[in-house]
Amino acid sequence: MNDRTDHQRILILGGYGTFGQRITRALAKQGYEVLVNGRHQASAQKLIQRLRIEHPGVRLSAACFDIHQHLEAQLKRLNPWLVIHTSGPFQTQHADIAEMILSAGCHYIDLADSRQYVKQMNNLDGLAKQQQVTAITGASTVPALSSAVLAWLQKNHQISHFKHIQMGITPGQKTPRGLATTRAVLSYLGKPLEPWTGSLRQRHGWMDTYLQNYPHIGRRLMANCEAPDLDLLADHFSLDELQFSAGMGSKVLHLLMWLTAGLVRTGLPLKLERRAAFLLKISHWFDVLGTEDGGMHVNISALDADGKEIKLQWFLEAFAGCGPQIPAVPAILLTEKIHHQALNSGVHPCVNLLTLDEYLNGLSGLNISTRVQVIE
């Protein structure tokens, strides 16, 4: 393990959750002192005991409290150097948690997948600069990996302008799914989505289904999904039209969600978020119809430096349950960048903060493959 001082104490909100535990493990192995937050002491201690057996010498302790009620007092008591916020769903949160963290003089990273939350974070840029701390929002697969892929394609294929970008993520049906992620998806299922670049008509969550073929994991159904990319990428890349989608590992489950989205769209007062725990349990009934393999695709049509139209597809496929590690990578890598003072103070949406090589190096050793192919 690398040597870290006590000044690099990290508090991870939701530290034993689906993504939080992966970040906890990686940073503890790197020598940071990690405080595992959550509401349940037993769950935090279970993770800590397991990691201490796997990696003797790691510095871990539980810091269990309700972040919506006791965060300000706990920040004063614990005095963390950095706080990593993994406790979603971010669709139902305001940036007041981040504001308390920045006001306490702590660096900050979140895994927000909510467009509105990421927008709210921009309002805290002045506070972060005043406190001379770095705040990174949206440090997850999107937009961290998605922007890295576009930057790589732009450089390696001499792209001058993106005409159409279609992105999507499909997790393995048998991989862990957290309650926060479930609530996030249910929050926009069938509901009108805020317009985005190139959206010429009203779009609805989990509608506009299409079939995407992957090199190894086969065909997956995909549908409209909310993601910060829809607001952020047009500020960093020259593009006309952007579409973001998600799909379930089981086509049957995906279609049931599509049908439910249709019912919501008709105006039926379904309070899906309130039934998130029950619906998450039901989703596992379909695990027998899927695998642990998931993927991400980026389909583009673009103009190269000579004005010639080109069409490309970039794929990432994760096998044998490796998929949940992918959203955890940005927070791990960006912690090191903050440690080495590689980022300026202020609020940074997680666009172009990591290169594709850096991201894939963070996934080394896992059963993950990537491929790019030109469509003739």
What confidence score (pLDDT) does residue 2 get?
46
Q: Which regions of the chain carry the CATH code 3.30.360.10?
A: 142-323+360-374
Condensed to tens digits (0 to 9), the pLDDT of residues 349-374 reads 999 999 999 999 999 999 999 999 99
CA 215 – CA 156 distance, rounded (Å): 21
Residue 120 above 70 pLDDT?
A: yes
What confidence score (pLDDT) does residue 201 get?
86
What confidence score (pLDDT) does residue 7 get?
62
Residue 207 above 80 pLDDT?
A: yes
CA 273 – CA 182 distance, rounded (Å): 8
What confidence score (pLDDT) does residue 329 get?
98
Residue carrying structure tokens 């317009």? 195
What confidence score (pLDDT) does residue 1 get?
43
What confidence score (pLDDT) does residue 281 get?
93
Q: Which of 42, 326, 5 is nearest to 170 (CA)?
A: 326
Q: What is the mean pLDDT of residues 250-257?
A: 96
CA 362 – CA 374 distance, rounded (Å): 26
Q: How confident is the model at residue 62 (pLDDT cuts 50, 70, 90)?
A: very high
Mean pLDDT of the chain: 94
Q: Which regions of the chain carry the CATH code 3.40.50.720?
A: 6-141+324-355
**Pair of tokens at residue 24:** 């906890």
Longest dimension (CA), the chain: 61
Alpha helices in the chain, H assignment, sequence order = 20-29, 41-54, 67-78, 96-103, 115-122, 125-131, 146-156, 179-188, 229-232, 251-265, 276-283, 329-339, 356-362
What confidence score (pLDDT) does residue 376 get?
78
What confidence score (pLDDT) does residue 271 get?
86
| 115 close to 234: Cβ distance less than 8 angstroms | no
Output 286 or 180, whichever has higher pLDDT.
286
Q: What is the mean pLDDT of residues 331-352?
A: 97
Q: How confident is the model at residue 176 (pLDDT cuts 50, 70, 90)?
A: confident
Coil vs helix vs strand at 202: coil
Q: Lowest mean pLDDT of 110-119, 189-198, 298-307, 314-323, name the range.
A: 189-198
* DSSP letter (8 states) at residue 191: S
Condensed to tens digits (0 to 9), the pLDDT of residues 3-14 reads 455 468 999 999
Protein fold of 142-323+360-374:
Dihydrodipicolinate Reductase; domain 2 (3.30.360)
CA 114 – CA 110 distance, rounded (Å): 11
What confidence score (pLDDT) does residue 159 get?
97
Q: How confident is the model at residue 173 (pLDDT cuts 50, 70, 90)?
A: very high
* DSSP letter (8 states) at residue 300: E
Torsional sign, CA 255, 259, 265, 271: negative
Which contacts qualify for 38-44: CB closer than 8 Å, 24 or more apart?
Answer: 38/14, 38/64, 38/87, 39/64, 39/65, 39/66, 40/16, 40/64, 43/16, 44/15, 44/16
Residue 43 above 60 pLDDT?
A: yes
Output 25 or 176, whichever has higher pLDDT.
25
Q: Which of 366, 320, 334, 361 is nearest to 23 (CA)?
A: 334
Q: What is the mean pLDDT of residues 110-136?
A: 97
Residue 25 above 60 pLDDT?
A: yes
pLDDT cut 90: percent of the chain above it: 89
**Pair of tokens at residue 355:** 């290169």
Residue 216 above 60 pLDDT?
A: yes
| CATH for the 6-141+324-355 domain, from 3.40.50.450, 3.40.50.2300, 3.90.1150.10, 3.40.50.720 | 3.40.50.720
Residue 320 above 70 pLDDT?
A: yes
CA 153 – CA 89 distance, rounded (Å): 31
Question: Is the pTM higher than 0.85?
Answer: yes
